[in-house]
Amino acid sequence: MKPVDILILSNGPGEITTWVRPVVKALRTELGTDPQQTRISVMLSPCPHSTGQEATIASRYPEVDRVQSSEQFFSFLVGGKTRDDWNWREQGVVLFLGGDQFYALMIGKRLGYRTVIYAEWEARWYRWLDYFAVMNQRVIESIPGAYRHKLAVVGDLMADFSPISLNFMEMATNPVIGILPGSKTGKLTQGVPLCLSIAEHIYQRKPQTRFILPIAPTINIETLVRFADPKYNPFVMKMGGVSGELKKENGKYYLQTKTGLNVELISQFPAHEILQQCCLTLTTVGANTAELGALGIPMIVLLPTQQLDAMRTWDGIPGILANLPFVGSQLAKLINARVVKTGRLFAWPNIWAKEEIVPELRGELQGEKVADLVLDWLDNPSELNKIHYRLLEVRGKPGAAQKIAKIVHEQLSHNN
pLDDT digits (tens, 9 = 90+) for 9-34: 998 877 888 899 899 999 999 999 99
On the question of pLDDT at 405 being above 90, the answer is: yes
CA max distance for the chain: 69
Q: Answer yes or no: do 180 and 152 share one domain.
A: no
pLDDT digits (tens, 9 = 90+) for 246-261: 999 999 999 999 999 9
Put the strands of the sheet holding 91-96 in their side by side order: 66-68, 38-44, 4-10, 91-96, 114-119, 131-134, 151-153
Q: Where are the beta strands (DSSP E) in 18-128?
A: 38-44, 66-68, 91-96, 114-119
On the question of pLDDT at 175 being above 60, the answer is: yes
Look at 235-239, 333-337, 352-356, 401-405 and tell me which has the smallest mean pLDDT: 333-337
Q: Answer yes or no: do 194 and 258 share one domain.
A: yes
> Could you give the CA distance from residue 256 to residue 81 in angstroms, rounded to a whole number?
50
* Backbone CA torsion sign across 298, 16, 226, 261: positive
- The residue ranking higher by pLDDT, 41 or 138, is 41
Q: Are 180 and 288 in contact (CB under 8 A)?
A: yes
> Could you give the CA distance from residue 287 to residue 15 in angstroms, rounded to a whole number?
10
What separation, in Å, do the N-terminal and C-terminal C-alpha atoms of the chain show? 8
Q: Answer yes or no: do 366 and 407 share one domain.
A: no
On the question of pLDDT at 138 being above 60, the answer is: yes
Q: Answer yes or no: do 141 and 267 share one domain.
A: no
Q: Answer yes or no: do 342 and 405 share one domain.
A: no
What is the arithmetic mean of pLDDT over 302-323?
54
Question: Any idea how long the chain is?
Answer: 416
On the question of pLDDT at 192 being above 70, the answer is: yes
Instruction: Choose the most confident range, by mean pLDDT, from 237-241, 270-274, 285-289.
Output: 237-241
DSSP 282: E
> Could you give the CA distance from residue 295 to residue 10 in angstroms, rounded to a whole number?
22
Residue 30 sits in which domain range? 4-160+398-413
> Could you give the CA distance from residue 168 to residue 296 in angstroms, rounded to a whole number?
12
Q: Quick one: pLDDT at residue 79?
A: 86
Look at 137-146, 295-304, 344-353 and tell me which has the smallest mean pLDDT: 344-353
Structural domain tally of the chain? 2
Q: Answer yes or no: do 407 and 386 share one domain.
A: no
Q: Answer yes or no: do 113 and 40 share one domain.
A: yes
- The CATH number of the domain where 270 resides is what? 3.40.50.2000
Q: Quick one: pLDDT at residue 164?
A: 65
Give the Å distances, CA to CA, from 334 to 308, 315, 321. 8, 16, 11
pLDDT digits (tens, 9 = 90+) for 262-284: 999 998 877 888 998 999 999 99
What's the pTM? 0.72
- List, in sequence order, the alpha helices (H) in 53-143: 54-59, 73-79, 101-111, 137-141
Amino acid, single-letter form, for residue 233: N
